[in-house]
Structure 1
Amino acid sequence: MKILDIILAPWAIRPASLLEIRDLYQAHTRREKLDFKAWEAATGRPLGSESQPYQVDQGVAIVDVVGVLTKSPSMWNRLCGMSSMSEIGQVFQMALADPGVHSILLHVDSPGGTVDGTQELADQIFAARGIKPVVALADGTMCSAAYWVGSAADKVYSGSNTTAVGSIGVVATHVDVSGQQAKDGVTTTEITAGKYKRIATNYAPLSQEGRATIQAEVDYIYSVFVDSIATFRGVSVDTVLKDMADGRVFLGQQAVDAGLVDGVSTMGVLIDELNQQQMDQKAGAGAALDQPQPKSRSQEEPMKITREELEAQAPELIEALKAEGHKEGVEAGASAERSRIQGVQDQALPGHEALIATLAFDGKTTPGEAAMAVNAAEKAKRTTNLEKIRSEAPKPVDDGGDRGAGNEAKTNQEKWDADENLRSEFNGNFAAFESFQKGMARGNIRIKTGN
């Protein structure tokens, strides 16, 4: 993978880290001497470091998820200390298959990385649930793509009260290199086919249509990110959007309160707990074989009483239960409706106030449905604006084709083939004749007649 491909790919990473990487790349394109210490600081790993096989501590495999994450290994990964998610996945599978490993601890210290490759690694970890216990520990930083990966574990912990967790979001970068090329005396012309091919080219300023295309891609990736977190953490999409996925970074207990992690712990404590769980599981399995199984509730004789008997023996109790149930139902319904309305109103975007008002008081739309409706309305609005821009754009200039009777075009080739004097006049050079015709059509060439 080329470094330009990495820079321009959609990222799930802390913005500060992406800015550092982008600035270093731009310095590279200006042929400035690379500041290797700055690379180390931006990527979070020493230069030349590569993914290492896992270590085993008392039956617990420690798998590193460290530094800026990219999909595949490359020269830039090794030079700049980035980690390859495909290599991390291979190490994880080795630990999963190792008979000497009973649990896996993901040691995470990463600001995030490229979107490409992240979901695949996260799904791979999530699929291991039930095979061996998998715990993720944020040791310093677990943000964006790194959190996407770590949240797939059975449990997630923050290493201290200053550990940074979260930054759930997606960012894409457009780099306009046309100004730099102009300084270097270089002009790049791209020949494309397909309406959206290179719609956001790097060799020109970003157009409104190009921006809308990139925004649609970022919005889609963000929705996939949010759905994954909801699945991994066992919560609703609304909860993720409301409490976790607004791009904020949470520290220590803040991450626990937001539901991003399950607690604050250390690597040593987690290894001890995983080993204790393993011993308890073995001891429990052995004891279960020696002890008689207790009778289940379904095997016990249930108490039998009919509604008629209860109404005859305690009519006051029946009426009290009815009244209490009605009151609780009304209060619960009113509280739920207030919460629903507030949740819908929280999804408001400028220009969609009327839509939010309609959804808030229709008595049925959930906050999640409101968010999707507003998002769809915003996309439709952008599409309409783009269509308006296209419709108002100037029409192409006529290519100068000769028009005869009946408005039928006589092509330059037909005129050339039919007129020997014409071919003689242009010394048999059809290209020169065609350029002359186009110049005539545009008004750039005029034939002077008379004196």
Structure 2
Amino acid sequence: MNRLLDVVTAPWAILPAKLSEIVAAYDARMLGEQIDLQAVAASLGRPLGSEPQDYEIVDGVAIIPMMGTIARRANLFSDISGGASSDLVMRDLRSAAANSRVNSILLHADTPGGTVAGTQQTANVMREVGAVKPVVTLGDGLIASAGYWIGAAAQAVFIADGTTQVGSIGVVSSHRDVSRSEEMRGVKTTEIYAGKYKRIAGSYAPLSEEGRASVQDYVDYLYGQFVQAVAEYRGVSTEKVLADMADGRIFVGQQAVDAGLVDGIATLDQLVGRLAAGEFKTPGAAVPRPKTRADMPTSPKGNSMSITTRDELAAESPALLQEIESAARAAGEAAGATAERARILGIEAHAMVGHEALIASLKADGKTTPDQAAAQVLGAHRAALAKQASGQAAEAPPPLPASVDASAGGKKDAPTKAQIAARAAELRREAEANGGSLSYAAAATQAAKELAHD
């Protein structure tokens, strides 16, 4: 049950209606209802299950499907909603990039989005593969939220027709207070934890204002990551994304083209034809197209040779083997350079004033990921704020003393802040007139003492 709760309350980049459907399934489980999977299948008009679909290759174009709700792994929600595993999408992208029969890649998407977990990583793999072979995305029906985050990482994004929905750029997280539900079932959960923020938004108590602020900060941070990614992928400023693309709206057909979310409208067959014809080039990588059968050396009888191993190719055509291996090295170097550029840009996205040296060292070490850099910069910034707060506390004037009027035998009113401020200003002017200086904290302390004894 806790695992289901963690899934529901995790950050999502998904259409609101689809998230409501997922939450409804969770609520049914919380009430102890057993979901009739056969009835659900009948209502959907299809069998349940999210068996991974292998990609197909058409004219040298690998068509990789990304259909339904996106999650790292298949689960009950993807069974009901139809789902795509981001882990499997990454696997297929890398497989297609390494497949000698594949010249280019088409990500075929029809998805409302899904969990934030795994989405950025999948988009990064799209960029890495795009440095080796052309990668294009086709939104067919719907490409929203996390689906668009991933799809936008391609060299170009198209939609299948004028009714395809695009956008819903945003992040949502929810808090589920199950304490009342448990009370009705005669259950009370007490969480034992260490660390102030460990369970600041726990599900076994109402959400506090501090808990709400913590969740909001987290969602805002993920939203910023989403916006930066779209700006980078689409080659526009973050201001442009925030103003015209990322307010959570859904754009339909030509609206998405006009907003700059996609590059045009094209059918699946049209895009396969354009990719097969070599219309889309790999950015920054001079990698020749793989040899076709017509390019292969022939035997003395004029038939194409059947070569299955490197040694056989070396024996039959050393020059061709050298060309293929040279192309492979070039592709590997280009992919490595692109990945390193992406790593450095990702780290720079987390730069903060006062932490320039840390950012420089993280970029130079060649191994720190953008997510790791974000954690280190945030930790360093919190430490700096704590140190600053400690220093300010040390310089603050002491509490105003409670003075007593001895002659009257009773308490005397303490000086007001305005009186202390006025006297402190006089003391500082006197110090400056005598060629010296006096900090406000010191002046306020002296003023408080003087006024308390007047």
Cα distance in 2 between the residues matched to 1:42 and 1:170: 29
Cα distance in 1 between the residues matched to 2:26 and 2:247: 28
Cα distance in 2 between the residues matched to 1:236 and 1:99: 37
Change (3 A) 1:42 1:224: farther
Aligned residue type for 1:231: E
In the alignment, structure 1 residue 222 sits paired with structure 2 residue 240: no
Task: Quote the residue 1:129 is aligned against.
Answer: 130
Task: Quote the residue 2:161 is aligned against.
Answer: 160
Task: Quote the residue 2:193 is aligned against.
Answer: 192
The CA deviation at 1:76 is: 5.9
The CA deviation at 1:33 is: 3.7
Cα distance in 1 between the residues matched to 2:40 and 2:220: 29
What is the SS of the residue equivalent to 2:172? coil
In the alignment of these two chains, the number of paired residues is: 285
Residue by residue over 1:284-339, the C-alpha shift from the partner in whole angstroms, topping out at 9 and shown as x without a partner, is: xxxxxxxxxxxxxxxxxxxxxxxxxxxxxxxxxxxxxxxxxxxxxxxxxxxxxxxx
Q: How does 1:373-384 map to 2 (within 5 A)?
A: none
- Whether the aligned pair in 2 keeps the contact of 1:45 and 1:82 (CA below 8 Å) is no
Aligned residue type for 1:257: D
> How does the TM-score come out when normalised to structure 2?
0.59
- Whether the aligned pair in 2 keeps the contact of 1:67 and 1:82 (CA below 8 Å) is yes
Cα distance in 1 between the residues matched to 2:14 and 2:76: 21
Change (3 A) 1:40 1:255: farther
The CA deviation at 1:81 is: 3.6
Task: Quote the residue 1:265 is aligned against.
Answer: 266
Cα distance in 1 between the residues matched to 2:149 and 2:222: 12
Residue by residue over 1:401-424, the C-alpha shift from the partner in whole angstroms, topping out at 9 and shown as x without a partner, is: xxxxxxxxxxxxxxxxxxxxxxxx
- Whether the aligned pair in 1 keeps the contact of 2:143 and 2:167 (CA below 8 Å) is yes
Name stretches of at least 5 consecutive residues in structure 1 with no aligned partner.
Answer: 284-379, 381-451
Aligned residue type for 1:116: A
Task: Quote the residue 2:7 is aligned against.
Answer: 6
What is the SS of the residue equivalent to 1:137? strand
Cα distance in 1 between the residues matched to 2:173 and 2:42: 21
Q: How does 1:3-82 map to 2 (within 5 A)?
A: 3-34=4-35, 36=37, 46-74=47-75, 77=78, 81-82=82-83
Change (3 A) 1:145 1:42: farther
Task: Quote the residue 1:212 is aligned against.
Answer: 213
Task: Quote the residue 1:242 is aligned against.
Answer: 243
Q: How does 1:246-325 map to 2 (within 5 A)?
A: 246-277=247-278
What is the SS of the residue equivalent to 2:73? coil
Change (3 A) 1:25 1:75: closer
Cα distance in 2 between the residues matched to 1:86 and 1:242: 32
Task: Quote the residue 1:119 is aligned against.
Answer: 120
Task: Quote the residue 2:360 is aligned against.
Answer: none
- Whether the aligned pair in 1 keeps the contact of 2:40 and 2:80 (CA below 8 Å) is no
Name stretches of at least 5 consecutive residues in structure 2 with no aligned partner.
Answer: 282-286, 290-384, 386-454
Change (3 A) 1:112 1:45: farther
In the alignment, structure 1 residue 90 sits paired with structure 2 residue 91: yes
Aligned residue type for 2:276: N
Cα distance in 1 between the residues matched to 2:123 and 2:43: 23
- Whether the aligned pair in 1 keeps the contact of 2:149 and 2:229 (CA below 8 Å) is yes
Change (3 A) 1:215 1:279: closer
Cα distance in 2 between the residues matched to 1:233 and 1:45: 36
Cα distance in 2 between the residues matched to 1:83 and 1:93: 16
What is the SS of the residue equivalent to 2:278? helix
Cα distance in 2 between the residues matched to 1:16 and 1:146: 15
The CA deviation at 1:223 is: 0.3
The CA deviation at 1:195 is: 0.8
Cα distance in 1 between the residues matched to 2:153 and 2:32: 41
- Whether the aligned pair in 1 keeps the contact of 2:94 and 2:129 (CA below 8 Å) is no
Cα distance in 2 between the residues matched to 1:15 and 1:217: 19
Aligned residue type for 1:126: R
Task: Quote the residue 1:395 is aligned against.
Answer: none
Identity %: 49
| CA RMSD across the alignment | 2.8
Cα distance in 1 between the residues matched to 2:280 and 2:164: 30
The CA deviation at 1:73 is: 4.2
**Structure with the greater alpha carbon radius of gyration:** 1
The CA deviation at 1:84 is: 1.4
Cα distance in 2 between the residues matched to 1:117 and 1:60: 25
Cα distance in 2 between the residues matched to 1:132 and 1:40: 39
Aligned residue type for 2:241: V
Cα distance in 2 between the residues matched to 1:55 and 1:129: 18
Task: Quote the residue 1:145 is aligned against.
Answer: 146
